[in-house]
Amino acid sequence: MKIAFIVWRFPVLSEAFILNQITGLIERGHDVHIHPVNGLPKNYTGKVHPVVEEYKLLERTYFPPTVPINLYLRFFKGIGLMLRNLHKGSLKTLQLFDYKKYGHEVATLKTFYRTVSLLQDGSYDIIHCQFGTLAPIALAYRDAGILKGKLITTFRGIDISKYVQENGINVYDQLFKEGEFFLANCEFFGNRAINLGCDPQRLFVHGSGLDCSKFSFKPRYYPVDGKVKIATTGRLVEKKGIEYGIRAVAKIIQSHPNIEYNVIGDGELKDHFEQLITELNVGHVVKLLGWKQQKEIVEILDDSHIFIAPSVTAADGNQDAPVNTLKEAMAMGLPVISTIHGGIPELVQDNISGFLVPERDADAIAEKLIYLIEHPERWEMMGTSGRARVEEKYDMNKLNDELVAIYQQMLTSNLLKQALVQTQELTPV
C-alpha cells in the first residue's frame, strides 16, 4: 500500500508513537510518505530519534517550502509557487481560500506552500491524519482533488480535548460525515468522539505501541545504599502535572531524606519549576535533567526504583491518553504512581501495577510514595504486572499488524468494523 502520514511537524522527539507506526509499516513492505504541513519542528537542532536515521525517514519526508514571516513576502512567494506549478494543477488551490467553507487552517497563504509536494504526487491508497486537528486540511485538499485516498484519522488527546473546548462540540461534524474511518488511542477518547457524533461502527480503539524489546525488564529491589531514586519523564507543561510530583517529594524529605527525584524533559514551565524547587528548598533532591535521547532515558530509568506520572487536566482542557513514558517505565519493571486522568486508568491497574490518585493531589502522591518506600517487597510484583500489561495491550508489533489489517479492510470492505471484528478480533469502543 501507498500511505501518506499527515503530521503537523516532523521529526518531533516526543512523538515516538508515530515513528513506531511508520517504521512498522515500512518493515511490512509498505510505501510510507510523510507530509509535515508545518515543516520542521520549531527550534529544530538536528537532534532526532535514532530510528529517523536508521530508517532514513527524512528521505521519505516531503517538506513544504519555507513560509516567510513577512506577509508581503509570503504572499508573493506563494503566488510564485502557484504559477510555477500550473502544469501540475496548482489552480486547484484557489478554491481553498473560502474561509466560510474551510476555516482558517485551510484558507491561508500557507496552503500555497503546503500543497506543493502533493501537487507532484498526492495519490495514495490511505491518508492517515495523525491528529484530528489535521483532518480538516486533508479533507479540503481531497475535496479540491489535490489529495486522493481513503481517509483515516487518529484522535490522540489534545485534538479531542483542548481543541474541542476551544472550537465547540460541532467542530468535527464534517469530518465524521466525510472521513472513512477513525481511531482513538484509548477508550476514554473513543467514547468522547462518539459523544461528539462519530459513528461507533467506524471507530476503533487502537493504542499507541511500544517496542518492548528496547525496554528491558528488571525486577526492582530496595537499594543497598538506601537511596531510593524516583523518576518522571515528560514535557514541562501543565497537563503533565509535574508540579505535583515536586510538591509531593518536598512533603516527604523530612521523614525520608535519602531520596532522589529526577525529572527528564524540557518545556515552557522550566523556569517556573526551577523557582518552585528553590522555594521548597529541594534543590538537593529534585533535579531537572532536560531532554535526553531514548538511550539516556533508558539508562536513567534502569537506575530508578519508582516512577511518577502525575498528569492533570490543563486549564485549556488538554488531557492525556495512556502516557507513553508511563508505558516505558512499566515495561522496565518500575512500580508507578499516576492519576485518575484521561486514558491512564486503562493502562495502570490500581494497587496491581502501581497506584492511581486524584489529579492535583500532592498529598495523595506523597502518601503513595511513602508506602512504596516503606514496602519495597511490593516493587517486584508491581513491576511484573506492569510489564505484562504493556505487552498485552501496547506491543508495537501486534498493533502494527492490527493497523495494516485496518488499512486493508478500508480498501476492500464497506462494512469495515464488522469485518475487522470477525477477522482480527480487534477491540471496538
**pLDDT per position as a tens digit, 335-363:** 999 999 999 999 999 999 999 999 999 99
Q: Give pLDDT tens digits for 209-221.
A: 999 999 999 999 9
Q: Give pLDDT tens digits for 257-286.
A: 999 999 999 999 999 999 999 999 999 999
Shared domain check, 271 and 173: no
- Does 181 have pLDDT greater than 60? yes
- Using H for helix, E for strand and C for coil, what is the string for the chain? CEEEEEECCCCCCCCHHHHHHHHHHHHCCCEEEEEECCCCCCCCCCCCCHHHHHCCHHHHECCCCCCCCCHHHHHHHHHHHHHHCHHHCHHHHHHHCCHHHHCCCCCCCHHHHHCHHHHHCCEEEEEEECCHHHHHHHHHHHHCCCCEEEEEEEECCCCCCHHHHHHCCCCCHHHHHHCCEEEECCHHHHHHHHHCCCCHHHEEECCCCECHHHCCCCCCCCCCCCCEEEEEECCCCHHHCHHHHHHHHHHHCCCCCCEEEEEEECCCCHHHHHHHHHHCCCCCCEEEEECCCHHHHHHHHHCCCEEEECCCCCCCCCCCCCCHHHHHHHHCCCCEEEECCCCHHHCCCECCCEEEECCCCHHHHHHHHHHHHHCHHHHHHHHHHHHHHHHHHHEHHHHHHHHHHHHHHHHHCCCHHHHHHHHHCCCEC
Residue 216: inside a domain: yes
Task: Give the pLDDT band of residue 63 (cuts 50, 70, 90).
Answer: very high
Residue 200: inside a domain: yes
Residue 258: inside a domain: yes
pTM: 0.89
CA–CA separation, 157 and 240 (whole Å): 13
pLDDT the model gives residue 48: 82
Shared domain check, 216 and 205: no
CA distances from 1 to 30, 131, 290 (A): 5, 21, 39
Residue 163: inside a domain: yes
Total number of domains in the chain? 2
Residue 351: inside a domain: yes
Owning domain of residue 121: 2-209+397-424
CA–CA separation, 92 and 163 (whole Å): 28
Q: Give pLDDT tens digits for 320-331.
A: 999 899 999 999
Residue 146: inside a domain: yes
Q: Among residues of the chain, what percentage have pLDDT more than 90?
A: 88
Residue 429: inside a domain: no
Q: Give pLDDT tens digits for 290-325.
A: 988 888 999 999 999 999 999 999 999 999 999 899
Shared domain check, 277 and 252: yes
Q: Among residues of the chain, what percentage have pLDDT more than 70?
A: 96
CA–CA separation, 158 and 165 (whole Å): 10
Shared domain check, 239 and 191: no
Shared domain check, 369 and 409: no
pLDDT the model gives residue 416: 55
Read off the CATH number of the domain in which 236 is found.
3.40.50.2000
- Does 427 have pLDDT greater than 50? no
Shared domain check, 169 and 20: yes
Shared domain check, 187 and 57: yes
Shared domain check, 418 and 361: no
Shared domain check, 102 and 21: yes
pLDDT the model gives residue 43: 79
Shared domain check, 102 and 56: yes
- In this prediction, residues 397-423 reach a mean pLDDT of 78
CA distances from 281 to 199, 238, 256, 308, 353 (A): 52, 22, 15, 20, 31
Shared domain check, 191 and 163: yes
Task: Give the pLDDT band of residue 421 (cuts 50, 70, 90).
Answer: low
Mean pLDDT of the chain: 93
Nearest to 234 by CA among 318, 333, 352, 134: 318
Task: Give the pLDDT band of residue 50 (cuts 50, 70, 90).
Answer: confident
- Does 415 have pLDDT greater than 80? no
Per the structure block, which three cell numbers stand in for 113? Answer: 506552500
Shared domain check, 172 and 267: no
Residue 229: inside a domain: yes
- In this prediction, residues 367-378 reach a mean pLDDT of 98
pLDDT the model gives residue 428: 47
CA distances from 228 to 255, 260, 290, 351 (A): 13, 6, 21, 20
